[in-house]
């Protein structure tokens, strides 16, 4: 019988690639998603090799961590990849994302123990939890290794904002919480925390993963990706540790298949500075221009990321990820396509993956860290831009509609107010979208509390329109009823009495 494993956050960048590799290797996989009604994510996982026989999907949310019980029950190993990226404002249990993340890992660890079948819990940690900064922020230690912990106090960091600080603190405290289980004699659970570098490479998702957006930010001009991504990591860590998606997932599986393993392990293939990343991009791909606002860069001495502990256990990130021509660069940085416009023709709309050599169609391929939009209807960067332009253009005919319906005086007053109130929704959406992009590095639709707030205005608009029309119908029916009453009375009088 195939070994059962559980992967939380199965539809994410790392989660989906890990699920795929596990299925190819013959494991039975229990994968969790926040919402099984999200057909795009469900269909993606169900399309993976061996999914029809070896994949079971479960709905579970970190904010309701007890929902993971069924997914974990009967499994021998659990990969805890999921982490809340935004705080759920409806949560009455936790005041912020930090509390939710820490409580989530604790509950999942307890679920593993309660199952009596789980031998090991592998947690996808982040190198941001292992800063070599001195406690007072005065400088860095000689290198970054598993003994380093990011200071919990808010250091005077130039490129930090509340979002990245909260994320870093949440992941750091959650990792510390999990490692305590290794000290419990009666727990009978081994915990491995794998501190992954910034992940890039191919993807089977239909959109560009956030970590790849961060790495490509010098090309794309993404302010959040560059300053709160690359520059923040460099400021906290002294460099930007990088790792390929395929290798970090192989490292996860290695941590599972090893007969006995527990503790912290760094996993990074390279540790360039931001200046070195940009120099590599420009040297190898002069046709891709670095955004002018990101050109100036002070030279710093990069801090090395020591992954030797993982190597001593028997796993080594392939040296091919660090080409001899540019020490400190990474595979995907050396393989950006020369002509992105022709990439669809060159690939014939398919691309062989590094897993099993099987072909996949209508997927975004990031083998070089750059998207290939082979599916024209996938929600990639270009389609988002087109949607934004169409949304803005639609305002002009709508304003014309408002002019004529006001001039005609045919609409009920409350309904007319509802039509005008829709402009409040538009007015709120624009700054909300800008705020989501600047502070979260993503579109408005991916930030639940902002998107929900904007949509509430649309709900009010619909209510005003419907209530206005209902009142108009009632007023229209009222005279008919009153005019018919006298006729009825006359008929009654004419009836002969018996």
**pLDDT tens digits, the chain, 498 residues: what are they?**
789 999 999 999 999 999 999 999 999 999 999 999 999 999 999 999 999 999 999 999 887 777 899 999 999 999 999 988 777 666 667 888 889 899 999 999 999 999 999 999 999 999 999 999 887 767 888 899 999 999 877 667 888 888 899 999 999 999 999 999 999 988 789 999 999 999 988 889 888 899 988 988 888 888 888 889 999 999 999 999 999 999 999 999 999 999 999 999 999 998 999 988 888 777 777 777 887 778 776 767 789 999 999 999 999 876 433 332 322 334 444 444 333 322 222 222 223 333 333 333 333 333 333 332 323 233 333 444 555 566 667 778 888 888 888 988 888 889 889 889 888 888 888 788 777 766 665 667 667 777 788 888 888 889 989 998 888 888 877 755 444 454 454 455 555 554
CB count within 10 Å of CB 53 equals 8
207, 13 contact by CB (below 8 A): no
How many domains, the chain?
2
- State how far the Cα of 498 lies from the Cα of 405, in Å rounded to an integer: 57
- State how far the Cα of 432 lies from the Cα of 409, in Å rounded to an integer: 33
Domain-located, residue 334: yes
Residues 411, 262 share a domain:
no
Domain-located, residue 279: yes
Residues 86, 32 share a domain:
yes
Residues 295, 146 share a domain:
yes
Residues 399, 336 share a domain:
no
Domain span at residue 409 reads 394-475
Triad 52, 348, 352: Cα angle to 5°: 45
Residues 409, 456 share a domain:
yes
pTM over 0.85: no
Residues 353, 467 share a domain:
no
Domain-located, residue 491: no
Residues 422, 371 share a domain:
no
**Residue closest to 5 by CA, chosen among 54, 46, 62:** 54
Q: Which of 328, 353, 379 is the last residue of a domain?
A: 379
171 annotated active-site: yes
What is the dihedral sign for C-alpha 253, 254, 259, 265? negative
CATH number at residue 161: 3.40.50.720
Domain-located, residue 412: yes
HSE value, Cβ hemisphere, 13 Å, CA-based, for 77: 25
Catalytic residue, chosen from 171, 231, 262, 278, is 171
Residues 114, 75 share a domain:
yes
Tokens encoding 39: 């057909």
Residues 289, 414 share a domain:
no
80, 124 contact by CB (below 8 A): yes
Residue with tokens 């994510």: 41
């Amino acid at each position: 019988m195939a070994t059962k494993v559980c992967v939380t956050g199965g539809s994410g960048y790392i989660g989906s690639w890990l699920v795929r590799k596990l299925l190819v290797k013959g494991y039975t996989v229990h994968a969790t998603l926040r919402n099984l009604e999200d057909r795009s994510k469900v269909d993606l996982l169900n399309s993976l090799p061996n999914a029809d026989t070896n994949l079971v999907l479960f709905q579970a949310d970190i904010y309701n961590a007890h929902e993971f019980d069924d997914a974990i029950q009967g499994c021998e190993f659990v990969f805890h990849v999921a982490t809340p990226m935004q705080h759920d404002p409806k949560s009455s249990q936790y005041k912020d994302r930090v509390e939710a993340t820490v409580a989530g890992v604790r509950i999942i660890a307890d679920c593993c123990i309660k199952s009596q079948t789980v031998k090991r819990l592998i947690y996808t940690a982040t190198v941001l939890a292992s800063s070599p900064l001195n406690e007072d922020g005065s400088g860095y230690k000689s290198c970054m290794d598993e003994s380093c912990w990011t200071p919990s106090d808010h250091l005077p960091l130039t490129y930090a904002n509340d979002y990245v600080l909260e994320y870093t603190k949440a992941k750091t405290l959650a990792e510390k919480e999990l490692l305590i289980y290794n000290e419990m004699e009666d727990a009978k659970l081994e915990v491995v925390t794998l501190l992954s570098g910034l992940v890039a490479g191919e993807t089977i998702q239909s959109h560009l993963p956030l970590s790849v957006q961060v790495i490509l930010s010098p090309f794309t001009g993404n302010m959040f990706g560059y300053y709160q991504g690359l520059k923040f990591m460099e400021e906290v860590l002294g460099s930007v540790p990088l790792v390929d998606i395929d290798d970090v997932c192989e490292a996860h599986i290695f941590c599972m298949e090893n007969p006995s393993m527990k503790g912290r392990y760094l996993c990074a293939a390279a540790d360039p500075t931001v200046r070195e990343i940009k120099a590599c991009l420009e040297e190898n791909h002069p046709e891709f221009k670095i955004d002018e606002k990101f050109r100036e860069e002070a030279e710093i001495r990069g801090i090395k990321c020591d992954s030797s502990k993982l190597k001593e256990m028997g796993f080594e990130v392939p040296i091919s990820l660090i080409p001899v021509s540019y020490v400190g660069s990474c595979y995907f940085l050396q393989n950006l396509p020369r002509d992105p416009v022709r990439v669809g023709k060159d690939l014939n709309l398919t691309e062989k993956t590094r897993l099993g050599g099987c072909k996949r169609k209508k997927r975004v391929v990031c083998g070089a860290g750059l998207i290939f939009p082979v599916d024209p209807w996938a929600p990639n960067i270009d389609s988002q831009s087109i949607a934004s332009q169409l949304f803005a253009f639609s305002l002009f005919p709508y304003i014309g509609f408002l002019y004529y319906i006001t001039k005609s005086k045919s609409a009920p007053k409350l309904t007319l107010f509802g039509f005008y109130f829709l402009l409040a929704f538009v007015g709120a959406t624009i700054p909300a979208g800008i705020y989501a992009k600047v502070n979260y590095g993503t579109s408005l639709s991916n930030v639940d509390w902002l998107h929900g707030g904007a949509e509430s205005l649309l709900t009010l608009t619909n209510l005003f329109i419907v209530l206005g029309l209902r009142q108009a119908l009632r007023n229209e029916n009222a005279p008919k009823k009153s005019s018919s009453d006298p006729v009825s009375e006359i008929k009654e009088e004419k009836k002969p009495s018996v």
